Amino acid sequence: MATGHKNLSSFDKKVLPSMASKRIGIVCSEWNEAVTGALLTGAIETLTEIGIEKKDIHLSHVPGTFELPLGAQRLAQLNDLDAIICLGCVIQGETRHFDFICQAAADGIMRVGLQYDKPVIFGVLTTENQQQALDRCGGKHGNKGVEAALTAIKMLG
């Protein structure tokens, strides 16, 4: 993950494995759409830049981050997908809701990957405020959507 000291969103596509025949699923939360839309754009641009055709990217939307695991499971049931990227954003509020949603999403996404024995990538921002989210969806800390796509590629390589 990008930190205040490092931006992990840049990459050298020459060192990545070929993905020409791979099919990728992306499930994206509609909640915090300004942020998740930027994550989605970063992921798709990265996948196509390294050779995955747009027709081989299967996109699904869910209402919020809590629904990402079920969305990922439905995509995982499609046997022709090689990996799934989950994109979402949860911003800390004044209640413990943040903790429950983040933990449930992380656990659920991990379980789908283990159950279907394929990479299911956690591309969910869990930030303290809106500015931190913006910094991580194309701002000064890069784009976590790019990083999620790179993680999927590396797991398939």
**Alpha carbon distances (Å) from 100 to 40, 50, 90, 108:** 24, 35, 11, 12
Longest pairwise C-alpha distance within the chain:
46
Concerning whether 97 is annotated as a catalytic residue, the answer is: yes
| Annotated catalytic residue, options 5, 58, 97, 141 | 97
- Please give the Cα distance from 31 to 141 (Å, whole number): 21
Distances (CA, A) of 97 to 94, 104, 145, 153: 8, 11, 24, 32
Q: What is the number of other CB atoms lying within 10 angstroms of the CB of residue 56?
A: 19
CB 122 within 8 A of CB 90: no
Which residues are marked as active site?
97
